[in-house]
Amino acid sequence: MVAQAERRVRTRSWRQNAEDLVAQAASILRRNDTGDWTRAAPSLYPHQWSWDSAVIAIGLAHLDTCRAAQELRTLFAHQWKTGKVPHIVFNPKAPPHSYYPGAEHWACAASSPDAPPAPPYTSCLCQPPVHAIAALRIWEAAGREDEKARAAATSFLREIYPKLLAWHRYLATFRDPEQSGLVTIYHPWASGTDNSPRWDGALAAVEVGEMFTYPRYDLQHVDDPSERPASAEYDRYLWLVKLIKRAGCDEGAIYRSHPFLVKDVLFSAILVAANEALLEIAEVVEAPDEERELVVVWAGRGRQGLEKCWDEKHNMCLDYDLRADRPLRGRTVAGFAPLIAGGQSPQRLAALLGELGSPTFAGHPELRWPLPPSTSPQDRGFHPRSYWRGPTWPVVNWLLWWSLRQAGETGLAERIRRAALDQIISGGFAEYFEPFTGEPLGSNSQSWTAAVVLDWLLSDSLREPGMAA
Ligand code: 9WN
């Protein structure tokens, strides 16, 4: 099927393909739209996911800045009193038996004194903080429309800024009591890169106690179970959820007793970039100086923290296992964290770019497209079809593209954009792709895949002549 699609694609011009892609991406976002928020995917993920929503808002900003703002507004309506933005807001209208663990499993979180009013219920985990970047991009997109749109977006920034500040403060305090500049996660789901080999070492030390039986609804939505995490991984995920629930979702209790406690470099780097975006938002909304100074401190501390995680041998950053008190070795895309944080020295940037283009990642000679696999084919934990163990992810390509442009590496950014779009033209709006064959895997009609396509094709400076927004 892939070969057939590729033949069709080759006979059409880039422009025709791009115009079709924009129309298809917009239609996917419309179909996954529930009114105020967007399902991460039509059947596999029928709820609102935190970092998906931020990326979706970036895509929506090209279609309708008010709707894009609403996406974030809806998510932040479920912010916890601590400032935490939950990783999932459960959709009360989701079909029964569609996602596990769902609202009924997490309902206990609502009894925490910090939880928002329920229903809808939320999980008590969180995900990487792309939100400030999204809010700023909505405001920038509105600025290209007219006065009215700009005024509406400025008033949206005024409304969301204190919530974003509380979110980043939560991460800088509850999730970094050591003031290391690095965010601690207590579940692989919080990383957004769930079954990445990054977590193998730390998860191996988690002793699963007596397990209840549970359904794997996720497997009904993919062609082959190998595309999703294995049952040994799921047992651990659910065991960790059980311990978090037992701790009453209390951050302090979790920090003291939880067996999986890890400093996540990708999450931390996204927070640095988000703090830079928050500073720009603070400027627009004329926030008090003390708040801006605080955000500057957080961003600086984040960069220093990442610097300490740099590993000369891997030419990348490594996550840190707080329980075992050692770095977690492995070659995954998360190691490019400093690129995402930005502000690197020329030497560090050269080392990162060298690694990115090397046979360990995007320069591997057998890749279908020169895009970095989520895990290097040279890593022991690599598996080309299994979720975050090898497939390439459009959302990761977007993050790298965005970071490379911020770093002024526009040539490489453009090569990634073209290859990533070719991948989607040939395989559709998949959640992830087999890196050697290009086979689309996981969910189809994945919302954030559609969103990044819109951003790649409709960002002003990139728009092909004559392309409609
Ligand atoms: C668990 C929604 C989410 C993404 C994550 C991705 C996957 C969930 C799952 O789907 O995670 O949160 O059930 O596998 O790993 O990054 O936000 O698209």
3-state secondary structure at position 344: coil
pLDDT band at 17 (very low <50, low <70, confident <90, very high): confident
Please name the residue ranges forming H helices in 394-446: 394-406, 410-427
Q: Which of 38, 44, 45 to mutate to test the pocket of ligand 1 (most atoms within 8 A of CB)?
A: 45
pLDDT band at 465 (very low <50, low <70, confident <90, very high): very low
Number of neighbouring beta carbons within 10 Å of residue 1: 10
pLDDT surpasses 90 at 16? no
Beta-carbon contacts of 364 under 8 Å, excluding residues fewer than 6 positions away, are: 373, 376, 377, 435
* Partners of 298 in beta bridges: none
The answer to whether 194 is a known catalytic residue is: yes
Q: Which atom of ligand 1 is nearest to the CA of 189?
A: 12
What is the predicted pLDDT for the residue at 11? 64
Number of neighbouring beta carbons within 10 Å of residue 228: 22
What is the predicted pLDDT for the residue at 462? 45
CA of 282 to the centre of ligand 1 (A): 31
The answer to whether 224 is a known catalytic residue is: no
CA of 410 to the centre of ligand 1 (A): 30
pLDDT surpasses 90 at 202? yes
Q: Which member of 218, 233, 431, 455 is catalytic? A: 431
pLDDT surpasses 60 at 461? no
Among 163, 3, 192, which residue's Cα sits nearest to residue 74? 163
Q: Which atom of ligand 1 is nearest to the CA of 50?
A: 17
In the block, tokens 């969103």 appear at 451
Q: Which residue's CA lies nearest to atom 8 of ligand 1? A: 189
Helix/strand number for the chain, H first, E second? 18, 10
pLDDT tens for residues 208-249? 998 889 999 999 999 999 999 999 999 999 999 999 999 999
pLDDT tens for residues 361-416? 999 999 999 999 999 999 999 999 999 999 999 999 999 999 999 999 999 999 99
Look up residue 466 and give its two tokens. Answer: 């004559």
CA of 232 to the centre of ligand 1 (A): 17
pLDDT band at 22 (very low <50, low <70, confident <90, very high): very high
The per-residue pLDDT of the chain, averaged, comes to 94
What is the predicted pLDDT for the residue at 15? 82
pLDDT tens for residues 416-432? 999 999 999 999 999 99
Q: Which member of 52, 194, 200, 319 is catalytic? A: 194
pLDDT surpasses 60 at 463? no
Find out whether the beta carbon of 106 lies less than 6 Å from any atom of ligand 1.
Answer: no
What is the predicted pLDDT for the residue at 467? 44
Q: Which atom of ligand 1 is nearest to the CA of 87?
A: 12
pLDDT surpasses 70 at 344? yes
Find out whether the beta carbon of 51 lies less than 6 Å from any atom of ligand 1.
Answer: yes
pLDDT surpasses 80 at 331? yes
Number of neighbouring beta carbons within 10 Å of residue 15: 12
pLDDT tens for residues 293-320? 999 999 999 999 999 999 999 999 999 9
**Mean pLDDT lowest for which of 12-16, 234-238, 334-338, 463-467?**
463-467
What is the predicted pLDDT for the residue at 4? 62
What is the predicted pLDDT for the residue at 452? 98
pLDDT band at 9 (very low <50, low <70, confident <90, very high): low
End-to-end CA distance of the chain: 30
What is the predicted pLDDT for the residue at 14? 79
pLDDT tens for residues 33-85? 999 999 999 999 999 999 999 999 999 999 999 999 999 999 999 999 999 99
What is the predicted pLDDT for the residue at 392? 98
Identity of the amino acid at 291: E
pLDDT tens for residues 92-133? 999 999 999 999 999 988 889 999 999 999 999 999 999 999
